Amino acid sequence: MNYTIKDNKIEIFDADTFEPESVLASGQIFRFGCVNDVWWVCSGENRAEIKKLGENHYLIDTNNAKFFENYFDFSTNYDIILTRLGKHKVLQPALEYSRGVRLLRQPLLEVIINFIISANNNIPRIRKSVQGICEQFGTKTEWGFAFPALEQLSKATIQDFTNLGCGYRAPYLVDTIAKLQDEKILKSLLTAKDTQTAREILLSLKGVGPKVADCILLFGLQRFDVFPVDTWIHKVYVQNFNGQETNRNKITKWFVDTFGADSGYCQQYLFYYKRKDISLK
């Protein structure tokens, strides 16, 4: 995939492994949308609009091109990943359909907060809560409200989060935000020697169970040897891999043992494909 950057615009050519809807609607983020065929996405203090110019040809107009170059992981050659995973015949229909999916490189704090809110929740409610948090505690910019910094989030109370629709997760958010004031925790996550060490740190945070921890590892720490298992992936495991296990931690281990360092990529391809309610052949 070829692209150029000029004046905070990223023009992408031959984008066969980048497709806006596949990337943005694949369950990784909650601040995105589409208006008049133009996709938009916000992260931190940054916003981008993505317009299709032609077949596999896109223009990303943003306030921070370097941020989004990294955010969309344009430095990674996804053709190589797809080739490796394509050796598994059962994956081939999903890989073809989900070819435009990319794993986003998101700010860690944003991922932690978003995925605590996501636990046992639905996407419209998650999106509403996250947007409300940004509007109440984030910095106002020329395009809207940025995702709040840790200092801004520290001012939020349990009642604030409850009023914003976070439900039983509200005290978890307050507790975790207070713990993250200790800069050593975020630093230890970013510098953990291996995935299991980072997972144990995450599991010490209120509101972070095994599935949420795996999402944070994948989307916030770029640990690709994880495989978050939710209802959709459980269906894939049973229906398409003839899986018999019911314990989701063991299902996660089975997928990681099978797909190794490409597990996180595989999970996203399968998740996006299955969410479209198309069965693997």
For 5-34, what is each residue's pLDDT tens digit? 999 999 999 999 999 999 999 999 999 999
SS3 62: strand
Residue 146 contacts by C-beta under 8 Å, 6 or more apart in sequence? 42, 44, 45, 134, 138, 139, 140
Mean pLDDT score, 133-157: 97
**CATH superfamily name and code, 77-97+106-281:** Hypothetical protein; domain 2 (1.10.340.30)
Flag whether pLDDT at 280 surpasses 80.
Answer: no
Nearest C-alpha neighbor of 31 from the set 113, 95, 88:
113
Residues with active-site annotation: 211
Return d(Cα 230, Cα 43) in angstroms, integer.
Answer: 24
Per CATH, the number for 2-74 is 3.30.310.260
The whole-number pLDDT of residue 168 equals 97
pLDDT at 278 over 80: no
> Does residue 72 contact residue 3 with C-beta atoms inside 8 Å?
no
Residues across the chain: 281
State residue 279's pLDDT score.
45
> Could you tell me what percent of the chain has a pLDDT over 90?
93
108-118 helix and 210-221 helix, angle to the nearest 10 degrees: 150
Kindly state the average pLDDT of the residues 186-192.
94
One-letter amino acid at 156 equals: A
Q: What phi, psi does 11 have (nearest 5°)? A: -105, 125
User: Fold match between 2-74 and 77-97+106-281?
Assistant: no
Are 18 and 58 within 8 A, CB to CB?
yes
Strand partners, 145: 140
Tens of pLDDT, residue by residue over 87-130, are 999 999 999 999 999 999 999 999 999 999 999 999 899 999 99
**Residue from 65, 36, 62, 64 nearest 49 by CA:** 62
Q: Can you give the pLDDT at residue 150?
A: 96
| pLDDT confidence of residue 132 | 98
Domain boundaries, the chain: 2-74, 77-97+106-281
pLDDT at 277 over 70: no
